[in-house]
Structure 1
Amino acid sequence: MSAVEREPVATQSISITQPAGPAKWKLAVSAFAGLYPLVTLASWAVARTVPQWALPARTLLVIVLVVPIMTYLVTPTMHRHAGRWLHSLKKHRDSK
């Protein structure tokens, strides 16, 4: 049997420009706006439900409740409602 000869593959460099994501401070404001009320409510509810638990156990329960709610409900909702603001680009005064 003869070996199959392979022709060299042409290589090209491709430059892909990805759009810049939201500014970090905007993400922080958005996260705070969703996280603060949720953590406050969850902490209050857990403290009223299981007041006899030690603080680390109550904190663990709050985290177990808050993280999935933030991940699957609050963050997507916040990004949907604040999307235009999050992704807006501010033009610099110097560039006209």
Structure 2
Amino acid sequence: MSASSSTPSSTQPRKPNRLRFSFFVFLGVYPLVTALIYALAPFTTEWHIWQRNLVMVPMIVGSMVFVIIPSIHRHCHRWL
């Protein structure tokens, strides 16, 4: 047995609940996606869906990686 597997489970951090985490991500991403759709719609009326998504998805991913998910970990960690 390795030394790391013999440590008591009370010293290891608790794993976040994925269902709760996905709920918090939903609460952050849904309003963002909805707002971006409304904001981009007037400027992209003639565009195909894939072209709209090509503009919108990088904004969503960047917001998730740098704002939404870190905020969830910072502010909601006790509920995860």
TM bracket (short chain): 0.7 to 0.9
Match of 1:67 among 61, 66, 69: 61
TM-score by length of 1: 0.68
How far did residue 20 of structure 1 move?
A: 3.0
Moved over 6 A (4+): none
For structure 2, which runs of at least 5 residues remain unmatched after alignment? none
TM-score by length of 2: 0.79
Q: Percent identity?
A: 35
How far did residue 59 of structure 1 move?
A: 1.5
> In structure 1, how many angstroms separate the alpha carbons of the residues matched to 2:13 and 2:19?
17
Task: Give the number of equivalent residue pairs.
Answer: 75
How far did residue 13 of structure 1 move?
A: 2.5
How far did residue 25 of structure 1 move?
A: 0.8
Point out the structure with the larger helix share.
2
In structure 1, the partner of 2:24 is: 30
In structure 2, the partner of 1:48 is: 42
Deviation track 1:11-58 (CA, whole Å, cap 9, x = no partner) reads x82124542321111111111011100111111112122221111110
For structure 1, which runs of at least 5 residues remain unmatched after alignment? 1-11, 87-96
Q: Aligned letter for 2:23?
A: V
- The answer to which structure, 1 or 2, has the higher relative contact order (CA under 8 A, 6+ apart) is 2
> In structure 1, how many angstroms separate the alpha carbons of the residues matched to 2:77 and 2:66?
16
How far did residue 68 of structure 1 move?
A: 0.4
